[in-house]
Structure 1
Amino acid sequence: MATSKNWTKAQLKLAFHLYCQLPFGKLHKTNPEVIRLATLIGRTPSAVAMKLVNFASLDPAITSTGRKGLAGASNLDREVWVEFHADWEGLAIECEMLRRDLDPSPTMDEADELFTSEDFTGETRTVVMEQRIKQHFFRRAVLSSYGGRCCMSGVAEPRLLIASHIVPWSKDKQNRLNPSNGLCLSAIHDRAFDQGLITLSDDLKVIVSDELKRRNDQFIRTVFLPLEGGVITMPDRFIPDPAFISRHRNEAFIDNRKAIG
Structure 2
Amino acid sequence: MIDSINVPPNAFVSKGNWTAEQLKLAFYFYCQTPFGKLHSRNPQIIELAKLIGRTPSALAMKLVNFASLDPSITGTGRKGLSGASALDRETWNEFHADWERLTVECEQLRQHLLQEHGLSAQVPSARADEFPLTDFTGETRQAIIQQRVKQNFFRRAVLSSYRDRCCISGVSDKRLLIASHIVPWSADKANRLNPSNGLCLSAIHDKAFDNHLFTLSDDWQVVLSSRIKSSKDTFLREVFWPSEGKQIEMPERFAPDPSFIAKHRRTMLDSYPID
TM superposition shift of 1:216: 1.6
Alignment match of 2:78 (pick from 49, 67, 88): 67
Name the aligned partner's letter for residue 257 of structure 1. S
* 1:82-110 CA-partner distances (Å, limit 9, x unpaired): 00000000000000000000003144852
Letter in 1 for 2:82: A
2:148 matched to 1:137?
Answer: no
Question: Which residues of 2 match residues 2-17 of structure 1 at below 5 A?
Answer: 2-17=13-28
Match of 2:135, SS state, is: coil
Tell me how large the CA RMSD over aligned residues is. 1.5
**Separation (CA, whole Å) in 2 of partners of 1:120 and 1:203:** 46
Residue aligning to 2:125: 110
| CA shift for structure 1 position 220 | 1.1
Question: Mind listing any 5+ residue stretches in structure 2 that lack a counterpart?
Answer: 1-11
* In structure 2, C-alpha distance between the alignment counterparts of 1:39 and 1:108, rounded to whole Å: 21
Residues in 1 aligned to 2:233 and 2:31: alpha-carbon distance in whole angstroms:
40
Q: Does 1:175 align with 2:186?
A: no
For the pair 1:36 / 2:47, whether they are aligned, the reply is yes
Report what 1:256 is aligned to.
270
Q: How far apart, CA to CA, are the structure 1 residues paired with 2:48 and 2:261?
A: 35
Q: Give me the whole-angstrom Cα distance separating, in 2, the residues matched to 1:201 and 1:247.
A: 11
- Give the equivalent residue in structure 1 for 2:30: 19
Task: Name the structure where helix makes up a greater proportion of residues.
Answer: 1
Once residues 42 and 174 of structure 2 are traced to their aligned partners in structure 1, the CA distance between those partners, rounded to angstroms, is: 20
Partner of 2:90: 79
Matched, 1:245 2:256: no
Per the alignment, residue 4 of structure 2 pairs with none
The letter for the 2-side match of 1:200 is: L
Partners in 2 of 1:83 and 1:108 — Cα distance?
A: 25
Q: Does 1:127 align with 2:151?
A: no
Letter in 1 for 2:109: L
* 1:109-146 superposed Cα distances (whole Å, 9 cap, x missing partner): 527xx9x9422211101111110000000000000000
| Structure 1 stretches of at least 4 aligned residues deviating more than 4 Å after TM superposition | none
User: In the aligned structure 1, how far is the partner of 2:155 from the partner of 2:87?
Assistant: 27
Deviation at 1:4, TM superposition (A): 2.1
Rounded Cα–Cα distance in structure 1 between residues aligned with 2:211 and 2:65: 39
8 Å CA contact 2:27–2:92 kept in 1: the answer is: yes
Deviation of 1:2 (Å) = 2.9
Indicate yes or no: 2:173 matched with 1:157: yes
**TM-score normalized by the length of structure 2:** 0.89
Percentage of identical aligned residues: 65
User: Where does structure 1 lack aligned partners over 5 or more consecutive residues?
Assistant: none
